[in-house]
Copies of this chain bind each other. A is one copy, B any other.
Amino acid sequence: MRVSQLFTKTSKTVPSDEVAKNAQLLIRAGFIHKEMAGVYAYLPLGLRVLENIKKIVREEMNAIGGQEVMMTTLQPKDIWEKTDRWDDAKVDNWFKTKLTNGTELGVGLTHEEPVVDALSAYINSYKDLPIFTYQIQNKFRNELRAKSGLLRGREFVMKDMYSFARSQEEHDEMYERAAVAYHKVYRRLGLGDFTYRVKADGGIFTERFSDEFQTLSSVGEDTLFHVPDTDEYFNEEVAPAQAPAVTPVPDESLAEFEEVEAAGVIGVAVLAELLGIPFEKTTKTMLYTSDTGETIAAVVRGGYDINEIKLRKIVGARKLVLADEATVKRVTGAEVGYAGILNLAADVRVIVDESCANRTNFEMGANRTNFHATNVNWGRDLPLPEEFYDIKVARKGDVHPESGKTYELHRAVEVGNIFPLESKYTDALGVYYTNEEGKQESIIMGCYGIGVSRLMGVIAEHFSDDKGLVWPENIAPAKVYLVRIGGEVATKHADELYDELMGKGIEVMYDDRDERPGTKFADSELIGIPHRVTVSDRLIEADSYEYTPRMSGVSEVLTHDQLLGKLN
Contacts and interface: CB of A to CB of B under 8 A. Distances in A.
Interface of A: 5-9, 11, 30, 33, 35-36, 39-44, 47, 50, 65, 67-76, 92-93, 95-101, 105, 107, 114, 118-119, 121-122, 128, 131, 133, 138, 140, 142, 144, 154-155
A35 B142 contact: no
Contacts of A65: 5
Contacts of A8: 122
A42 B67 contact: no
B69 A99 contact: no
A30 B11 CA distance: 49
Copies in the complex: 2
A65 to B, nearest CB: 7
11 contacts: A5-B65, A7-B128, A7-B131, A7-B133, A9-B122, A33-B118, A35-B74, A35-B118, A43-B118, A72-B155, A101-B144
A101 B144 CA distance: 8
A334 to B, nearest CB: 37
Contacts of A154: 74, 99
A119 B35 CA distance: 12
Given A70-B41, A73-B138, A118-B41, A97 B96 contact: yes
Task: For the complex of A and B, list the 10 residue pairs with the smallest distance between their C-beta atoms, beginning with the closest.
Answer: A33-B118, A42-B70, A95-B97, A44-B67, A35-B72, A7-B131, A41-B71, A97-B97, A39-B74, A36-B76
Contacts of A119: 7
Nearest to A95: B97
A42 B137 CA distance: 12
Contact of A100 (B67, B74, B107, B142): B142
B97 A107 contact: yes
Given A121-B11, A155-B74, A41 B67 contact: no
Nearest to A33: B118
Given A5-B67, A35-B75, A47-B70, 10 more contacts: A7-B128, A11-B121, A35-B71, A35-B72, A35-B114, A36-B105, A74-B155, A95-B105, A96-B97, A96-B98
